[in-house]
Amino acid sequence: MGAPDIFDKSKAIELGAPDYITKPIQRQELLTRIKTHLDIRQ
């Protein structure tokens, strides 16, 4: 996967799809998921 794919996934997660996951997980994707779940809990 290239950088645009990672950006697209990160944007989708931020817009409300935090549980959508594909493997292998990229570092930026994982960090975005964690941030989104923390934001949801607040």
**For residue range 1-42, what is the model confidence (pLDDT) as tens digits?**
556 576 777 787 788 776 777 778 888 888 988 888 888 887
CA-based nearest residue to 28, from 6, 11, 4:
6
| Domain boundaries defined on the chain | 3-41
- How many residues are given for the chain? 42
Is pTM beyond 0.75? Reply is no
What type of residue sits at position 37? H
The whole-number pLDDT of residue 9 equals 75
Residue 35: phi and psi, rounded to 5, are -60, -45
Sign of CA dihedral 6, 21, 26, 1: negative
